[in-house]
Chain A
Amino acid sequence: GENVEQHPSTLSVQEGDSAVIKCTYSDSASNYFPWYKQELGKRPQLIIDIRSNVGEKKDQRIAVTLNKTAKHFSLHITETQPEDSAVYFCAASKARGSQGNLIFGKGTKLSVKP
């Protein structure tokens, strides 16, 4: 089955700096890669996603890149702010017009220091 590896497990940056979180996946059939942000005690919230027919996607300060050949994808947060502090999870699935189950990475705890 699919296996998703996520690094680093913790990341501390100064406010205004950039943060990068990387994930690799094992199943070449996976074609949907979302990123979730989870604040303490709350539900995960989708922040950005990318499908396998796209190499990069950007939404304001957040961007995701996908390298299908290498089977890895990354989350980039620029101009970080204290409210970006949370745990971020990457995930992969093989949804093809029907619902596919998400396999999550282990998460990255991001701390943005003011």
Chain B
Amino acid sequence: GAVVSQHPSWVICKSGTSVKIECRSLDFQATTMFWYRQFPKQSLMLMATSNEGSKATYEQGVEKDKFLINHASLTLSTLTVTSAHPEDSSFYICSAVSGGASEAFFGQGTRLTVV
């Protein structure tokens, strides 16, 4: 299957700082990428849909100024958690869909801990 790489795998940051997470499709072009958040022992909650070259579409309840998403190319989307707080600590996972298909390929996830 297609490969999606997410970086970093884990990060610890101080409250008030910003953290950028990258999601790359390595062997295919992804016009659409999705960002999910997963709390321990819970499901994946869709945060936003990222389309290359346009603004991301955020799900209800997700602050777009808090979670900045940029999809500048067909192989890269970034999620920046701005002014992070301890409650932002979570597992963030991206997924990408190759052209015309529905199957989503997931990155390995990023565990964010805000102290």
Chain A interface residues toward B at CB < 8 A: 32, 34, 36, 41-46, 49, 51, 89, 93, 95, 97-107, 109
The interface residues of chain B lying within 8 Å CB-to-CB of A97 are 100
- Can you pick out 14 interface pairs between chain A and chain B where the beta carbons lie within 8 Å of each other? A32-B102, A34-B103, A34-B104, A42-B109, A43-B108, A45-B106, A51-B102, A95-B97, A99-B31, A99-B101, A101-B46, A102-B34, A102-B46, A105-B43
The interface residues of chain B lying within 8 Å CB-to-CB of A42 are 108-109
Besides A102-B46, A104-B46, 15 new A-B residue pairs in contact (Cβ under 8 A), listed by A number:
A34-B102, A42-B109, A43-B106, A43-B109, A51-B102, A89-B43, A89-B44, A93-B102, A95-B97, A98-B32, A99-B31, A101-B46, A102-B104, A104-B44, A107-B42
Within 8 Å by CB of B34, from A45, A49, A98, A101, lies A101
The interface residues of chain A lying within 8 Å CB-to-CB of B34 are 101-102
Closest Cβ–Cβ distance, residue A108 to chain B (whole Å): 10
Closest Cβ–Cβ distance, residue A111 to chain B (whole Å): 13
State A75–B43 Cα separation when bound (angstroms).
17
Within 8 Å by CB of A95, from B41, B102, B109, lies B102
Closest Cβ–Cβ distance, residue A49 to chain B (whole Å): 7
Q: A32-B102, A43-B107, A49-B103 are in contact. Are A101 and B43 (CB under 8 A)?
A: no
Specify the chain B residue showing the minimal Cβ separation from A6. B43
Most B Cβ at <10 Å: residue of A36, A43, A51: A43
Closest Cβ–Cβ distance, residue B93 to chain A (whole Å): 6
The interface residues of chain B lying within 8 Å CB-to-CB of A101 are 34, 46, 49
State A105–B97 Cα separation when bound (angstroms).
19
Within 8 Å by CB of B95, from A49, A102, A105, lies A102
The interface residues of chain A lying within 8 Å CB-to-CB of B46 are 101-104
